[in-house]
Structure 1
Amino acid sequence: MATTIYPNLILEALSKVRYPGTGKNLVESGMVEDDIRIDGLKVSFSLIFDKPNSPFIKSVVKAAETAILTYVGQDVDIRGNISVKVPEVEVAEAPKLLPEVKNVIAVFSGKGGVGKSTVSANLAVALAQAGYKVGLLDADIFGPSVPLMFGCEDARPLLEEVNGRELIQPIERYGVKLLSIGFFVNKESPVLWRGSMAGNALKQLLSEGNWGELDYLLLDMPPGTSDIHLTLVQTLGITGAVVVTTPQQVALADAIKGIGMFLDDKVGVPVLGLIENMAWFTPAELPQNRYYIFGRDGGRKLAEELGIPLLGQIPLVQSIRECGDEGAPSAVQEDSMTAIFFRTLAQNVVEQVEQRNANLAPTTKVEMTK
C-alpha cells in the first residue's frame, strides 16, 4: 500500500471501471466530479450520473469501491464515502385516470414466449390471496390470453351505471377483477387493428372499466416495445414495471431493451425488478431435481449487472402450464410447490412497491444537481 494517497491514484483506479451505459470508463465518461477529498486513509468523492433512475448506480458505486481497494490499497477507507449526483428533473404529475387504484404495475417482456402472461395471472392471484384488492388488465391486444388462463373465454362483461356513467363491469375470478379485449372479439379470429385503434381500445377498457378500489392493477403488456406501451404510460401513472425473461441469452438481450424503454427520459417508469421464468425444469416425479434447459442464472446475473432486484425465479413445471390451460392459475392451489414460488414473488413485488412509495433513501447518498 502506498504511504501517501494522491488524487491521481484514485483517478487511475476509477479508469478501470466501465460504465455499462456508454461502455467507457468513469474518468473518460466525465462521471468523476473534481471533488476528490483525501484525509489520511479516508477517501471521498462524487460520481455524476445522467439520470436519477439509472439502473447502474448501485453496481457502478460498488465497482468503484472495489477498484480503489484493489489498485490503491485494502486499507483505504472508501466504503460509503462515494456520493452520487444526478440532475434535478421536474416530473409532471401523471393524470389520475383511476383515482381509486393505489398502484399500477406493468408486467412486460422484451420478447414473446417467456411466460409473461402466465406470470401476470399467477402474480395477480397470489396478491389477491395475500388479501389485496387486485385487478388485471390484459393489455396484449393482439394475443389476449387472460380469458383462457382464468377459464372465462365465453364471458361477456356487462355495462353497469355508476354515478350517471355506464361502465364495463370486470369479470371476477379467484378474487381478481379481469378485463381483456378477448372478451369482446371472436377468439378464433385475429385482431387486425392499427396501433391507434389498439391504443384507443385499451384507453376505453381503463377509463370505462368499473375497477373500483384496488390496491394493485396489473397490466399484462404486449411483448417488445411499441406505441401501445407509450399509450399506457401516457394514460396512467404507472407505479413501476417488472420484466419477465428466461435465462437464455436471446431473451436477456431483449429484456435489456425493454428495461431501457421504461427508463428512457420520455417514459420514466421505475423498474421494480426482474423475474426469471423457466429458471430450471423440475419433473413432477423428481421434485428435487433441477435441469437448466435454458441456461443457468441468466436472469440473476442480468439483475446484478443492472443493479435491479431479482424478484423471483420460477421453475418450468408441467403443472403451471396445465393449470393455465385449464383456466385455474397454479397459484390458486395454495399448498402446491408452484404456489409457494408465486407467493414469494408477490411478497417481493409488494416490498419493492412499498419502498418506492415510501421513497426510502438508497444505501448510497444521492444529491440532486441543478
Structure 2
Amino acid sequence: MPVTEQALTDALKQVVDPNTGKDFVSTKVLRNLSVQGGEVAFDVELGYPAKSQIAALRSALVAAARSVPGVDNVSVNISSKITAHAVQRGVQLLPGVKNIVAVASGKGGVGKSTTSANLALALAAEGASVGLLDADIYGPSQAMMMGVNGRPESSDGKTMEPLLGHGVQVMSIGLLVDQDQAMIWRGPMATQALEQMLRQTNWQELDYLIVDLPPGTGDIQLTLSQRVPMTGAVIVTTPQDIALIDAKKAIKMFEKVGVPILGLVENMAVHVCSNCGHQEHIFGAHGGQKMAAEYKLDYLGALPLAMAIREQADSGTPTVVAEPDGELAGIYKSVARQVAVAIAQKNKDFSSKFPTIKVSKDT
C-alpha cells in the first residue's frame, strides 16, 4: 500500500513534546510534510531553544514515521525559531531584543544573581542568543560572576558595546565604575543609569535578555515594570519564611503592573553534606513549592545549598559552564527550558507588523 500523509500524521501524533506535553502535529509545529514513495521528509520548528534535546526528538519522530508500512527513509529537520512575545500594554519593544525576562526575589541573599547568570548561560547552551543586564545598581555582581572585565567600548560616544562572557552579552554598572566605588545615588539617578544601560547598549539580536533585578520593590523595579517591555518575570526564593514574605511582595508588584510571572525557583532548598551525604533543610522544607501552589505559579525547580555553586560563581565560571554535564547544570537547564517554553506559549507581539496609517485631507 502507498504511504499516505494521514497515516504518517496519525503515527507522528504519538510523539509528545516532553516540554509542552502536546504532540507536534496538533500544535502545527510539524510542517512541510513530503511523501515520495517510501521517502518521507518534514520539518519541526520549535518556539524555544532545545539544543540538548534535538537528537532524542529526532530519533522519536523517525521511529514513529518508520512504524508506518512502506516507509523506507525519513528525513527530519528540527530547528528553533524564537519570536517576540506580548509585553505590557503601551510599551514598545526594545530594538535588537525579542524577549526581556526579569529575575526578582524581593529579598537579598537568596541567590537571585547566581540564578540569573546560570539561567542566561543555560538558555545560551540550548542555542539561544542571550544577554544579561545587571540591574542592581548599588550591588552589581554579574561582571565578576560572568568573568568579564574592562570598560565597554563606544564607537560613537553615545552607545556602548556589551562585553561577552561565556557567549552571553553582558552589561553592568560594575563595568563602568571602579570595583570599590560605592554608588551613592538617590532613586531617580539609579533608574536613569539603568535605563541608559538598557537602551544605550548595542544588544546584538537577542532572543532573551535576562535582567537581574536588585532586592525590593522600589524605584528600579517599578521603572522596569512600567517603562520596559517585559515578557515575564521569574521569582527566586529560599524555603525560609522570611524570604517568602518578600517574594510574595515581588509577586504582587508584577501582578499590579501587568507583567506575567513565568514561574518560581526555590534556591538553597536542601544542604547535602559533602563528606557524609546527610541532607538537611537549613532554611526549611518546601516553602517555595507551597507558595507556588498557593499563587498558582509554575514551580520551575529546586536547587541545593551547594558549595560548588558558590565557588564557581565567585571564580567567574558559573555552574552551567563549569560543569555543563553535571547534575546542578541539568537543573538550571531544566529551569531555562521551562521559562523558554512558557514564553513560547504566550501571545506573539505584532506591534512591529502593524501597518502605518496616514491621514491626509484627500482621504
Tell me the TM-score normalized by structure 2: 0.69
Of 314, 320, 340, 2:330 maps to 340
Equivalent residue, structure 2, for 1:305 = 294
* Partner amino acid, structure 2, of 1:130: E
Cα separation, 1, equivalents of 2:260 and 2:119: 19
Q: Which residue matches 1:101?
A: 97
Give the Cα separation in 2 of the matches to 1:259 and 1:135. Answer: 24
| 2:260 corresponding residue in structure 1 | 270
Partner Cα distance (1:128, 1:191) in 2: 31
**Which position in structure 2 is the counterpart of 1:326?**
315
Aligned match of 2:306? 317
Superposed CA deviations along residues 96-122 of structure 1, whole A, max 9, x for unmatched, are 2x2321110000011100000000001
Query: How far, CA to CA, are the matches of 1:92 and 1:325 in structure 2?
Result: 39
SS class of match (2:268)? strand
Give ranges in structure 2 of 5+ residues lacking alignment.
Answer: 1-87, 350-363
For the residue of structure 2 that corresponds to 1:345, the secondary structure is helix
Q: Do the aligned residues in 1 keep the contact of 2:129 with 2:205 (CA within 8 Å)?
A: yes
> Is 1:349 aligned with 2:339?
yes
Amino acid at match of 1:336: G
One-letter code aligned to 1:252: L
8 A Cα contact 1:109 1:224, kept in partner: yes
Aligned to 2:249: 257
Who is 2:152 aligned against?
157
**Hey, what does 2:132 align to over in structure 1?**
136
The Cα offsets for residues 261-317 of structure 1, whole Å up to 9 and x where unpaired, read as: 1101xx111111111000111233456x43211111100000001111001111111
Q: Who is 1:217 aligned against? A: 209
1:215 counterpart letter in structure 2? D
The SS at the match of 1:357 is: coil
Separation in 2 of the partners of 1:168 and 1:285? 47
Q: 2:109 aligns with which of 113, 138, 144?
A: 113
> For 1:263 and 1:221, how far apart are their aligned partners in 2?
16
- Secondary structure at 2:332's aligned position in 1? helix
Q: Find the counterpart in structure 1 of residue 31 from structure 2.
A: none
Q: How far apart are residue 322 of structure 1 and its match? A: 0.2
How far, CA to CA, are the matches of 1:156 and 1:150 in structure 2?
15
Tell me, in whole angstroms, the C-alpha distance in 1 between the residues paired with 2:226 and 2:155.
27
Distance in 1, matches of 2:181 and 2:297, equals 39
Measure the CA separation in 1 of the matches of 2:155 and 2:133. Answer: 18
Give the Cα–Cα distance (whole angstroms) in 1 for the partners of residues 164 and 316 of structure 2. 13
RMSD: 1.6
**Residue 189 of structure 1: which of 172, 181, 187 is its match?**
181
Distance 1:112 1:296 in 2: 19
Any conservation in 2 of the 1:101–1:217 contact (CA below 8 Å)? yes
Partner of 1:362: none
Query: Post-superposition shift, 1:331?
Result: 0.8
- Measure, in 2, the Cα distance between the counterparts of 1:248 and 1:198: 30
User: Deviations along 1:58-80, whole A, 9 cap, x unmatched?
Assistant: xxxxxxxxxxxxxxxxxxxxxxx
Aligned-partner residue type, residue 342 of structure 1 = Y
The Cα shift of 1:329 comes to 0.5
After superposition, what is the alpha-carbon deviation per residue over 1:211-268, rounded to whole angstroms, capped at 9, x for unaligned?
020010010001110011111123311000111000000100111011001101xx11
Secondary structure of 2:253 counterpart: helix
1:135–1:211 Cα contact (<8 Å) kept: yes
Alignment of 1:160-239 (within 5 A): 160-161=155-156, 166-239=158-231
Contact 1:203 1:235 in 2 (8 A): no
- Find the aligned partners of 2:150 and 2:275 in 1 and give their Cα distance: 36
Taking the aligned partners of 1:148 and 1:263, their CA distance within structure 2 comes to 32
Contact 2:159-2:200 at 8 Å conserved across structures: yes
Map of 1:117-128 to 2, 5 A cutoff? 117-128=113-124
On the 8 A contact 2:225/2:254 being kept in 1, the answer is no
Give the TM-score normalised by structure 1: 0.68
Amino acid at match of 1:172: L
Q: Among 143, 147, 162, which residue is 2:143 paired with? A: 147
CA separation in 2, counterparts of 1:240 and 1:286? 40
Q: What SS class does the counterpart of residue 182 from structure 1 fall into? A: helix
Deviation at 1:330, TM superposition (A): 0.8
Equivalence for 1:290: 279
Q: Distance in 2 between matches of 1:284 and 1:213?
A: 42
Is residue 275–residue 310 contact of structure 1 (8 Å, CA) maintained in 2? yes
Deviation track 1:177-206 (CA, whole Å, cap 9, x = no partner) reads: 000000111211211001111111111111
Paired residues in the alignment total 261
User: Which amino acid counterpart does residue 294 of structure 1 have in structure 2?
Assistant: F
Q: Check conservation: 2:124, 2:167, Cα contact below 8 A.
A: yes
2:134, 2:213 within 8 Å by CA — same for their partners in 1?
yes
